[in-house]
Amino acid sequence: MTQKDTPASRPTVRLIPKAEARAIRHGFPWVYANELVMDRRTRGLAPGTIATLEDANRTAMGVVAVNPASKIICRMLDQDPDAQIDQTWFEARIARALAHRDRLYPDPFYRLIHAESDGLPGVVIDRFGDVAVVQPNAAWADVLIGMLEAALVAVTGVATVVVNGNGRARTLEGLQERMDVSVGVRPDAPLAVPMNGAIYMADVMGGQKTGLFFDQRPNHAFAASLAKNARVLDVFSHVGGFGLACLANGAASVLAVDGSAPALELAQAGAAQMGVTDRFSVRKGDAFDSLTALADAGAQFDLVVCDPPAFAPSRQSLDAGLRAYERVARLAAPLVADGGYLALCSCSHAADLSKFRNASSRGIGRAGRRGQIIHTGYAGPDHPQLPHLAETGYLKAIFYRL
């Protein structure tokens, strides 16, 4: 967008008569392509255009970002039609989000902006001290990235802003991948992140997503509460999320399994920072093959944690994803000592808690084990859920005692 946004200067888009205007008025943040009048003018809008949304009666409903190339054609930015999308607007949204995180955490390591839930649709910002990593996963954020960055620096005082424009979400928006440092100096070394008494090493330039998964923080802590003097197996460990938290709480030993050598190297670096390398070992390989091999070797653990990637990222992949979650549970359960604990996680929003729990419990049963659910965990409070949008409540962690 080259000109300054004002209510008078922006185009209008209109819902078709059968569109669910009530849901949007009550807080649902998206308009799908089949709910909008798609005349030539609307189809010709550039991705990321700021527009005024009207209902079928031409009553203004709010300010939206439009992307004719996406199935989510409009994202609600502000329900006040007179709102002006400028740096002051961005600063107000970021300041509101920051006030919440400042109450939660003593140190500036957290998810600062959780997309729609924090009023910035499609935008994710993770903070690592003086470094912020921005994922602009919607076209409007790409268009206004300079304004967003300026507001971010003004409100938080971060010295470095990394723009990580990679991933499936951008592909669905018709956006190109990008990766650059737009403010400050490129962080070429992994960043040390304190969390739950552990130290994690985050590669914000080359790691998965923003470099670290803050969402599992409360589930790491609950697992650690079970880990005193325990033998722990951390499968799909990434940079050691569960394993290092368990070591910080007195685990006797941790074996971390992952298919990524760079991720395991970062986990080892975290263990070295903590001074616990004597109790930490790694195994590179396919998780399913590793679980099978450990069972064949008669290995037993007091706590087994499996935190796989999203096996069901969409409705189309749900059935296959649930079978994969069941297989994880079936292969992991035999490795748990009698009276020990099994933690199973899913970050697939398409697999709701009930479906994921049923698949996991079925897998445990097919392994010949029985158990009780002792705890169900979710993403931390720096990943707030928007009540109207199920996708924001994606993370589940179920703890069993077998």
Question: Residue ranges per domain, the chain?
Answer: 12-78, 87-183, 213-401
d(CA 111, CA 121): 15
Tokens describing residue 394: 């994606």
2 band by pLDDT with thresholds 50, 70 and 90: very low
Q: Which of 20-24, 92-96, 158-162 has the lowest mean pLDDT?
A: 20-24
Question: 267 with 243: CB under 8 angstroms?
Answer: yes
Confidence tier at 266 by pLDDT (50, 70, 90)? very high
pLDDT tens digits for range 94-152 = 999 999 999 999 999 999 999 999 999 999 999 999 999 999 999 999 999 999 999 99
How many angstroms separate the CA atoms of 111 and 133, rounded? 10
Q: What is the mean pLDDT of the chain?
A: 95
Residue 210, Ramachandran bin (φ over 0: left; ψ between -120 and 50: alpha; else beta): alpha
Give the Cα separation of 89 and 107 in Å (integer): 26
Res 220: pLDDT: 98
Superfamily designation of domain 87-183: RNA methyltransferase domain (HRMD) like (3.30.750.80)
Alpha-carbon gap, residue 327 to 366, rounded angstroms: 9
- Pairing type for strands 253-258 and 280-284 reads parallel
Number of C-beta neighbours around residue 23 at 10 A: 14
Which residues, at least 6 apart from 236, have a Cβ–Cβ distance to it below 8 Å? 257, 258, 287, 306, 307, 308, 309
Tell me which of 246, 306, 345, 347 is the catalytic residue. Answer: 347
Q: Are 289 and 327 in contact (CB under 8 A)?
A: no
The answer to whether residue 74 is catalytic is no
**Structure tokens belonging to residue 23:** 């849901």
* CATH numeric code, 213-401: 3.40.50.150
Write out pLDDT tens, residues 236-255. 999 999 999 999 999 999 99
Q: Of 164-168, 219-223, 256-260, 261-265, which range is least confident? A: 164-168
**Has residue 170 got a pLDDT over 60?**
yes
Rounded percentage of the chain residues whose pLDDT exceeds 70 = 99
Structure confidence at residue 7 (pLDDT): 84
Q: How confident is the model at residue 393, as a pLDDT?
A: 85
> Which pTM value belongs to this model?
0.94
Strands (DSSP E) found in 151-252:
160-165, 178-183, 191-195, 198-202, 231-235
| Start-to-end C-alpha separation, the chain | 57
Q: What confidence score (pLDDT) does residue 3 get?
A: 57
d(CA 197, CA 195): 5
- pLDDT at residue 298 is higher than 50: yes
Pairwise CA distance, residues 331 & 364, whole Å: 8
Confidence of residue 225 (pLDDT cuts 50, 70, 90): very high
How much of the chain, in percent, has pLDDT values that exceed 90? Answer: 88
Q: Hey, what CATH class is 12-78 in?
A: mainly beta
pLDDT at 1 over 50: no
Q: Answer for the pair 227, 303: CB distance below 8 angstroms, yes or no.
A: yes
Distance CA 75, CA 65 (A): 5
Give the mean pLDDT of 335-352: 96
378's tokens:
């979710």
